[in-house]
Amino acid sequence: MIGYVTLGTNNIEQAAHFYDELLALLGAKRAMQNDRFIAWANAPGAPMVCVIKPFDGNAATPGNGNMTSLFVPDTKQVDTLHAKALALGGTDEGAPGDRGDGFYGAYFRDLDGNKLCVFNM
């Protein structure tokens, strides 16, 4: 159902490095890009994660209550992606752990303050 998500950025080069490194751990590569946005995907036609400079020219700001969640195949990958995000300069929003009902997740913010979750069920 989800085709893609976009995360606003104020520094496309910095965001590109962050997501190139992070999403490579999931096997994702750049699928599309121009001077305003970059999109990563695992395969043609698969859902994409994108960073974008806002169309209106105003500064990108993270939305209160917005979060992008990435499903991963096992809990070890939750741990790995969370650690990688922090190593790349992201900030911790919740260490990896069991959140109940079989949900194992970790939370972090990217370099622009966008909140992400990596999880396995």
pLDDT of residue 1: 77
Nearest-angstrom CA–CA distance, 41 and 47: 6
pLDDT tens readout for residues 103-120: 999 999 999 999 999 999
41: β partners: 29
Q: How confident is the model at residue 77 (pLDDT cuts 50, 70, 90)?
A: very high
Q: How many CA atoms lie within 13 A of 80 on its CB side?
A: 13
Residue-range domain boundaries for the chain: 4-55+66-120
Query: What is the secondary structure of 41-107 as a DSSP string?
Result: ESSTTS-EEEEE--TTSSPP-PPTT--EEEE-SSHHHHHHHHHHHHHTT-EEEEEEEE-STT-EEEE
pLDDT of residue 82: 98
State phi, psi for 85 to the nearest 5 degrees.
-60, -45
pLDDT tens readout for residues 9-47: 999 999 999 999 999 999 999 999 999 999 999 999 999
pLDDT at 83 over 80: yes
Domain spanning 4-55+66-120, CATH class? alpha beta
End-to-end CA distance of the chain: 19
Return mean pLDDT, the chain: 97
pLDDT of residue 32: 97
Query: What is the secondary structure of 4-32 as a DSSP string?
Result: EEEEE-S-HHHHHHHHHHHHHTTT-EEEE
pLDDT tens readout for residues 87-103: 999 999 999 999 999 99
